[in-house]
Amino acid sequence: MRRRLHLLIAVGLGLFGGLAVLVFWGFAQFTRPGPLEQDTTIIVDRGGVEQVTRVLVDAGVLDHPVVFALAVRLTGAAGRLKSGEYLFPAHIAMEDVARLLQSGKTVDRKLVVLEGMTTAEILRMLTDQAGFTGAQASALEGELMPATYYYKYGDARPWMVQRMREEMRQAVQELWAKRAQGLPFANPREAVTLASIVEKETARASERARVAGVFINRLNKGMKLEADPTVAYAAANGQGRLDRPISKADLAMKHPYNTYQAAGLPPGPIGNPGRAALAAVLNPDKHEDLFFVADGSGGHAFAKTLAEHQKNVARWRQIEQQRNGQAPATAPAAARPSQAAN
């Protein structure tokens, strides 16, 4: 009887010792650096512990899947693992993997919407850029605010479009309330329309308010805007940038967006202007300029009279001749010398 008791005690101690060794080994595996060779971004979809573990093993994050699965179950973490796109550091330990998946600290993706992009271009970018889900949303030209937007894997396209729309709405509302007096706009939408033209006429921040002032002056005098970007927008059917120079046929085209032919503002924006262009249009410089043309340095030469403008255009043509060896067919100006002031 005593011998049997000793045997049972020995077996029990052996099992306990073996279990202790196994637990110690498992804990060591759970806390030691893992096999991942370099920082890696991995998408973890919704699913149970087994599915999540399989994804991590296939990506090289785990080398002891049974230990990981058992540990997250024993610690109660199994029900708190969140799906998403995660950045796993090189040699991340299993315990830190479990913490990361519980934290929900997923990767931020970036969508850069440039000032002046058309709505068609922005919607195409939302279709092409990875990480978005859901059907494509629609938007009017000029409704979407250019900016850098951060989003998560799995965010919906309609949500992002609505976010851009709300950013534009708030900016226009704020700037419209602070607008200068006497502007020729019946409503904020008309201001957005002119801002979209200014956005594409100059890339220099220091010129925006002055360019806006030129167009305001022309509108107040009943002159046609004669803005090249509106012609390009019409020629490209509003789909994006025109991939060729504006032609004489384009300038003569009968189109509501061709401000060489149609008086006043075009029917709507020709792109999505940024906040700075909106601010410039709603608080333009006050001056008497009616014309401007490229000056060869990335900026523009401004003029009050057509005669002065023609001299500026002649200088620009000389610059182009030196650069290209031939004179351009048409002058890249907001108002060309062939268009007389009213």
Which pLDDT band holds residue 12 (cuts at 50, 70, 90)? very low
User: Are residues 283 and 199 part of one domain?
Assistant: yes
Q: Quick check: is 331 in a domain?
A: no
User: Are residues 234 and 188 part of one domain?
Assistant: yes
The β-bridge partners of 303 are 291
User: Are residues 216 and 91 part of one domain?
Assistant: no
Written as six digits, the tokens of 62 are 């785990």
In order of 10, 60, 175, 215, 304, the CA distances from 195 in angstroms are 88, 51, 12, 10, 21
User: Are residues 139 and 102 part of one domain?
Assistant: no
Which pLDDT band holds residue 6 (cuts at 50, 70, 90)? very low
User: Are residues 173 and 160 part of one domain?
Assistant: no
Three-state DSSP at 327 gives coil
**Where residue 88 sits, what CATH number does that domain have?**
3.30.1490.480
Residue that is last in its domain, among 125, 149, 166: 166
Q: Are 115 and 183 in contact (CB under 8 A)?
A: no
User: Are residues 101 and 114 part of one domain?
Assistant: no
Number of domains comprising the chain: 3
**What's the pLDDT score for residue 180?**
96
What residue numbers bound the domain in which 61 lies? 33-107
User: Are residues 320 and 179 part of one domain?
Assistant: yes
Separation between Cα atoms, residue 137 and residue 120, nearest integer Å: 11
Q: Quick check: is 158 in a domain?
A: yes
DSSP-assigned states of every residue in 135-199 = PPP---TT-S--SEEEE-TT-BHHHHHHHHHHHHHHHHHHHHHTPPTT-S-SSHHHHHHHHHHHH
Q: pLDDT digits over 252-306, tens only?
A: 999 999 999 999 999 999 999 999 999 999 999 999 999 999 988 889 999 999 9
User: Are residues 162 and 46 part of one domain?
Assistant: no
User: Are residues 318 and 181 part of one domain?
Assistant: yes
Q: What is the mean pLDDT of residues 175-184?
A: 96
Which pLDDT band holds residue 38 (cuts at 50, 70, 90)? very high
Written as six digits, the tokens of 294 are 């490229």
Q: What is the mean pLDDT of residues 54-80?
A: 90
User: Are residues 186 and 291 part of one domain?
Assistant: yes
Among 39, 132, 45, 26, smallest CA distance to 85 is for 45
User: Are residues 290 and 185 part of one domain?
Assistant: yes
How many distinct helices (H) and strands (E) make up the chain?
12, 6
**What's the pLDDT score for residue 295?**
87
Residue type, 333: A
Q: Quick check: is 310 in a domain?
A: yes
